[in-house]
Amino acid sequence: MIIVMSVNASTREISAVIARIKELGYQAHLSQGQERAIIGVIGDDRRIPDPDLFSLMNGVEKIMKVSHPYKLASREFHPNDSLVPLNGSMVGGKKVVVIAGPCSVENRTQILETAQAVKEAGATALRGGAFKPRTSPYAFQGMGEEGLELLAEAREATGLPIVTEVMEPGLVPLVAKYADVLQIGARNMQNYALLHAVGESQHTALLKRGMMSTMEELLMAAEYILSHGNERVLLCERGIRTFETYTRNTFDINAIPVLKQRTHLPVIADPSHATGKREYVAAAARAAVAAGADGLIIEVHNHPENALSDGAQSLTPEQFGKLVHDLRRLAEAVDRCM
């Protein structure tokens, strides 16, 4: 249930409603919009509070039942787009941000060269995994903390903030020490202990859609993070598994407008994992921007042929530079900028 306050409701009236919600044993989440305040009543779904308890209070305009299982993530609760700060830009605003870098951090030269190249091409942030979720236990698992240290060095050298994956709740404090954005990978989208830990950390999160998850499941996963008062959540469409085999995954372009309609959270698209093949990445990236994505996360490697993970879908720095150039023109056509 959400309580929509009238445009001229006073701070005292808002506080009184919040106090009443807490007295009744629920949590109150205040969303202060430009025009009015909206208060979410959050708690056990089986006990729905009587709307009359609030409708007669001063300053209350109306009570709305939220029909979806996700509440804090819903547009009803937060009608305006959420803006998440990243490197001086606001993700979810007019600018389309570009997070770029290798799938994995492999060594010092690789990450520093790639970071410099993506910076020069106009990237907003640097990606690179130090803890890698690999299908095979025999595949390269990432450099761990040493990789995080190299990412910090790359940030120092380029000024680009770092996006890197965290796979277990116990490692959130360590990864958060180095990362500007904690990536939750597709395979961990429903790792609830991890979602709780990232929520508690109050760190910006990039939550990737599970390869076999519905959009509603993605929004429910985001709700876990939001329920800790951590409002810095970026959703990521990275392709889903279908019967098609000519691409690694099937890019669910629908997810972009659908999520933008249902949630206020920014939506990032990952054309690299969505296609799995370098030759299709640019087309999928352009489609994502045209469909309204707030940002892209793209794998770029200084020598893709030697990559220890996801080389086939990694762009060379030259290909990435050309793509950013093309995307700038496209962004303008859809009233965005890059």
With CA atoms as reference, report the closest residue to 165 among 116, 219, 207: 207
Taking residue 144's Cβ as centre, other Cβ atoms within 10 Å add up to 14
Q: Which of 208, 232, 278, 336 binds ligand PEP (CB under 6 A)?
A: 208
Q: Does 42 bind Mn ion (CB under 5 A)?
A: no
Place of tokens 């680009």: 160
68 contact, one of ligand PEP, Mn ion, none, CB 5-8 Å limit per kind: none
175 contact, one of Mn ion, ligand PEP, none, CB 5-8 Å limit per kind: none
Question: Which is nearer to ligand PEP, 78 or 209 (by Cβ)?
Answer: 209
Query: Hey, what are 259's tokens?
Result: 């999520």
Q: Which stretch binds ligand PEP (CB under 6 A): 22-30, 135-143, 182-190, 217-225?
A: 182-190
Q: Does 310 bind Mn ion (CB under 5 A)?
A: yes
125: Cα within 13 Å, side-chain hemisphere: 29
Q: Does 276 bind ligand PEP (CB under 6 A)?
A: no
Report the C-alpha gap between 144 and 175 in whole angstroms: 9
Phi, psi of 273 (to 5 degrees): -75, -25
Q: Does 278 bind ligand PEP (CB under 6 A)?
A: no
Per-position x/- string for 115-134, each x denoting binding to ligand PEP as judged by CB under 6 A, each - no binding: --------------x---x-
Q: How far is CA 137 from the centre of its chain?
A: 27
Q: Does 181 bind ligand PEP (CB under 6 A)?
A: no
Question: Which is nearer to ligand PEP, 84 or 103 (by Cβ)?
Answer: 103
Phi, psi of 67 (to 5 degrees): -80, -15
Q: How far is the CB of 185 from ligand PEP (least distance, A)?
A: 3
Count of residues near ligand PEP by CB under 6 A:
9
Q: How far is the CB of 272 from ligand PEP (least distance, A)?
A: 8
Q: How far is the CB of 17 from Mn ion (least distance, A)?
A: 46
Per-position x/- string for 84-103, each x denoting binding to ligand PEP as judged by CB under 6 A, each - no binding: -------------------x
Q: What residues pair up with 295 in beta bridges, in sequence order? A: 97, 268
Contacts of residue 247, defined as CB under 8 A and 6 or more positions apart, other chains included, come to: 239, 274, 275, 276, 277, 280
Q: Can you say whether the dihedral through the CA atoms of 50, 52, 56, 62 is positive or negative?
A: positive
Taking residue 86's Cβ as centre, other Cβ atoms within 10 Å add up to 24
Interface of this chain with ligand PEP, residues 21 to 60, rule: CB under 6 A:
none
Contacts of residue 333, defined as CB under 8 A and 6 or more positions apart, other chains included, come to: 290
Report the C-alpha gap between 15 and 114 in whole angstroms: 50
First-residue to last-residue Cα distance in the chain: 38
Q: How far is the CB of 163 from ligand PEP (least distance, A)?
A: 9
Interface of this chain with Mn ion, residues 46 to 105, rule: CB under 5 A:
103
Interface of this chain with Mn ion, residues 106 to 135, rule: CB under 5 A:
none
Q: Which of 186, 194, 235, 269 binds ligand PEP (CB under 6 A)?
A: 186
Q: Does 273 bind ligand PEP (CB under 6 A)?
A: yes
Q: Which of 238, 260, 264, 278 binds ligand PEP (CB under 6 A)?
A: 238
Question: Which is nearer to ligand PEP, 130 or 327 (by Cβ)?
Answer: 130
Report the C-alpha gap between 179 and 264 in whole angstroms: 24
Q: Which of 142, 185, 266, 276 binds ligand PEP (CB under 6 A)?
A: 185
Phi, psi of 43 (to 5 degrees): 175, -170
Q: What residues pair up with 337 in beta bridges, in sequence order? A: 95
Place of tokens 């469409």: 237
Give me the residues that bind ligand PEP (CB under 6 A), please. Answer: 103, 129, 133, 185-187, 208, 238, 273
**Where on the chain is the footprint of Mn ion (CB under 5 A)?**
103, 310
